[in-house]
Amino acid sequence: MATKKLVIKPTSNQKSNYGISTTHIYKGFSSAKSNQNFKIYDFECIKQDLLNQFQTRKGERVMNPTFGTIIWDAIFEPLTESTKNAIVADIRTILTSDPRIETEAVKVDEYASGILLELTVRYKVTDLRSTIKLSFDKDIGLIAS
């Protein structure tokens, strides 16, 4: 009986118009209604992981009381310098816990019904920078843009 020799060819690592490999490094899924096929890749996967943490109040997750953020408790407090520093420290802790990104800037402001965050992060693999804007609203919840 003759056996057929199996040859496995490496996949091509094509470059996109931006010089970035089209091969996905990080893969995940999202059950958000806006995502029809539920698959997310690379920076969108990282962003979804960050949003999951920011949507959770610290101490709310079962068996992991350090997961989440203190911002939900700080929404109803005056945004004094000490409160602002505590929020920035909490955000930096969340961002540095993800080894796929580096924090470049964190900006915290308040508005009539909540707290605004502007986070500038760098995706380490491709050196891509992105600004994530989050609004923690007392009435609506978390709004990401």
- Let me know if residue 37 belongs to a domain: yes
- Let me know if residue 83 belongs to a domain: yes
Identify the H or E element spanning 50.
Answer: helix 42-54
Rounded Cα distance between 10 and 18, Å, is 22
Residue-number span of the structural domain to which 51 is assigned: 27-144
**pLDDT at 49 (0 to 100):** 87
pLDDT per residue as tens digits for the range 80-94:
999 999 999 999 999
pLDDT per residue as tens digits for the range 11-50:
444 444 445 545 676 666 565 655 566 776 667 788 888 9
- Let me know if residue 17 belongs to a domain: no
- At 126, which CATH number? 3.10.450.40
What's the mean per-residue pLDDT of the chain?
82
The reported pTM is 0.75
The total number of structural domains that make up the chain = 1
